[in-house]
Amino acid sequence: MSLIQEPAIPLYDAVVKGYHTLSTAGADTEGVRRARQSAFDQWRLLGFPSIKNEDWKYTNITRYLKDEFALDGLVAGGGPVAAVAAPAGLVKKATIPGLDAFQVVLVNGVWDGKVHGASPKGELPKGIELLKVSQVLNDPAFAGYFGNGKWGNQHFAYLNTALFTDGLFIRVKDGAVIEKPLHVVHVFTADRNLLIQPRHVWVAGRNAEASVIESIVGGEGDVKLWVNSLMEIFAQTDSKLDHVVLQTAGTGVRLVQHTTVRQQKQSLYNNYTFTLPGAELVRNDLQARLEEDHTETHLYGLYLTAGGQLVDNHTLVDHQKPNCYSNELYKGVLLEKSTGVFNGKVYVHQDAQKTNAFQQNNNLVISKQATIDSKPELEIYADDVKCSHGSTVGQFSEEALFYLRARGIGEDTAKALLINAFAFDVTEKLRNEAVEHFVNELISQHIPSQTQA
């Protein structure tokens, strides 16, 4: 028995206290209500993770939990905080120059129903459907998308399931090929510390093709926003989905983002996750569940961390069936006093023969005060597979730096060039030129003044 009393977490108490009022406030159907209750019960047992949990061993969130957070929907007046307008500056920050896309803006997880950059009437092309999660949650026709209650050891997924209110539901209809990307801008803003829990569901129908770019902005001020976002993606048979995530929130944001992708036969899912300096805590749980055979999955990630940031990428590629291909490349550049964590798990079930699974994590540690914990994790139970993994941690090549300087390039510019070059392996994978250019610009912006060790 432990003799050390765990310090009380104000948010834990707030959730326990507020759950009843919140969960009965809406007009949830019996099914939804039961799912919430079950998730809540589970979360009450689990609480918030500590470094004693294997999945959180290198990511200590205790200090981020010391603040008090109000629960969205339970603030003064009872109305959801989410009903505020998006500050124009934040939307502008997320705007990608030269990107030809449909744009929707969600404030604290709530979509205002508007589509920018669509036809003059504001309509989307025929094959794609956008709805608010709050609209479809209690609709029996959508029950299949919200019924998942098995979140394993995912503390935050239970918390989200217990109390989420809204988010974006996207459905690309069977056979629809959406040429123009959809740009989803997530703005987080409030006048007091707040727990915000968006819940998104995306469905790519059979033979459907789409490309979605997400931008996360907000948290520029002193207010602390704890964003606990949960997304489920259903990639149906023969679908192709390109998914870019640009995490550019400010220091006031603590972001925990869980994404589960469920892939059916011959589906292709590409994820590109970029985390830039700002948000003091980012924890990404990206899980690709290869539930049927002949799927293809590419996970690319780049984290450029600065200040006192803690950025943790946990990925899981769950090979359940034979003949699936997965490839993962995550790269990290660590500046100042920041900390990075990479944990890449590849699980190959006994059934999943002829699996091809590759994983690589490379890190460039720029500052002497920066830290990286890199942990590849392979569990293989099938005997006819090709799997590989690799992890490196390094510093600037002195020789490369000298070569550039010997050509008249100043030290800061030379370092910026080398960082961009290091990141290039990931940024070049982006299929949209405007997005690639934007990401490279974001990287460059954060380098010159921050290269001093």
Partner 1 sequence: MLIIKNLHAEVEGKQILKGLNLTVNAGEVHAIMGPNGAGKSSLASVLAGRENYEVTEGEVWFEGKNLLEMAPEDRAREGVFLAFQYPVEIPGVSNINFLKTAIGEIRAYRNLPPLDAKAFLQLSKEKQKLVEFDAKLVNRSLNEGFSGGEKKRNEIFQLAMLEPLLSILDETDSGLDIDALRIVSKGVNKLRSPKNAFLIITHYQRLLEYIVPDFVHVLYDGRIVKSGTKELALELEEKGYDWLKEKEEVGTN
Residue 402 in the binding site for partner 1 (CB under 8 A): yes
Q: How far is the CB of 410 from partner 1 (least distance, A)?
A: 5
Q: Smaller CB distance to partner 1: residue 74 or 364? A: 364
Rounded CA-CA distance 369/70 in Å is: 34
Residue 400 in the binding site for partner 1 (CB under 8 A): yes
Q: How far is the CB of 100 from partner 1 (least distance, A)?
A: 24
- Piece of 33-41, 102-110, 215-223, 404-412 that binds partner 1 (CB under 8 A): 404-412
Helix (H, G, I), strand (E, B) or coil at 55: helix
Closest of 383, 378, 370, 292 to residue 328, by C-alpha: 378
Rounded CA-CA distance 9/13 in Å is: 7
Q: Which of 411, 431, 441, 453 binds partner 1 (CB under 8 A)?
A: 411
- Piece of 9-17, 34-42, 79-87, 419-427 that binds partner 1 (CB under 8 A): 419-427
- Piece of 5-13, 23-31, 93-101, 416-424 that binds partner 1 (CB under 8 A): 416-424
* H-state helical runs in 212-367: none
Q: Smaller CB distance to partner 1: residue 41 or 441? A: 441
Residue 437 in the binding site for partner 1 (CB under 8 A): no
Residue 333 in the binding site for partner 1 (CB under 8 A): no
Contacts with partner 1, 230-269, as mask; x by CB under 8 A? ----------------------------------------
Q: Smaller CB distance to partner 1: residue 48 or 422? A: 422
256 phi, psi to nearest 5 deg: -120, 115
Q: Which of 29, 138, 193, 420 binds partner 1 (CB under 8 A)?
A: 420
Rounded CA-CA distance 87/250 in Å is: 14
451 phi, psi to nearest 5 deg: -90, -10
Closest of 182, 168, 177, 184 to residue 127, by C-alpha: 177
Q: How far is the CB of 276 from partner 1 (least distance, A)?
A: 18
Contact (Cβ atoms closer than 8 angstroms) between residue 359 and residue 388: yes
Q: Smaller CB distance to partner 1: residue 354 or 405? A: 405
Q: Which of 350, 379, 410, 453 binds partner 1 (CB under 8 A)?
A: 410
CA distances from 50 to 59, 155, 258, 375 (A): 8, 10, 17, 18
Contacts of 198 (CB under 8 A, 6+ apart): 106, 108, 109, 164, 166, 167, 168, 186, 227, 229, 230
Closest of 26, 66, 64 to residue 282, by C-alpha: 64
Residue 423 in the binding site for partner 1 (CB under 8 A): yes
Contact (Cβ atoms closer than 8 angstroms) between residue 197 and residue 164: yes
User: HSE on the CB side for 71, CA within 13 Å?
Assistant: 23
Q: How far is the CB of 19 from partner 1 (least distance, A)?
A: 50
Q: Smaller CB distance to partner 1: residue 381 or 402? A: 402
Q: What is the 3-state secondary structure (H, E, C) of 326-390?
A: EEEEEEEEECCCCEEEEEEEEEECCCCCCCEEEEEEEEEECCCCCEEEEEEEEEECCCCCEEEEE
Place of tokens 């009450």: 44
Q: How far is the CB of 389 from partner 1 (least distance, A)?
A: 21
Q: Which of 136, 382, 424, 445 binds partner 1 (CB under 8 A)?
A: 424
Q: Which of 44, 425, 437, 448 binds partner 1 (CB under 8 A)?
A: 425
Residue 417 in the binding site for partner 1 (CB under 8 A): yes
Q: Which of 179, 222, 383, 399 binds partner 1 (CB under 8 A)?
A: 399
How many separate helices (H) and strands (E) can be counted in the chain?
8, 21
Closest of 291, 243, 288 to residue 266, by C-alpha: 291
Helix (H, G, I), strand (E, B) or coil at 409: coil
Q: Which of 397, 441, 452, 453 binds partner 1 (CB under 8 A)?
A: 397
Q: How far is the CB of 397 from partner 1 (least distance, A)?
A: 7
Residue 421 in the binding site for partner 1 (CB under 8 A): yes
Contact (Cβ atoms closer than 8 angstroms) between residue 411 and residue 380: no
- Piece of 14-22, 44-52, 320-328, 413-421 that binds partner 1 (CB under 8 A): 413-421
- Piece of 143-151, 261-269, 318-326, 399-407 that binds partner 1 (CB under 8 A): 399-407
Q: Smaller CB distance to partner 1: residue 358 or 396? A: 396
Q: Which residues here bind partner 1, judged by CB under 8 A? A: 397-400, 402-411, 413-414, 417-418, 420-425
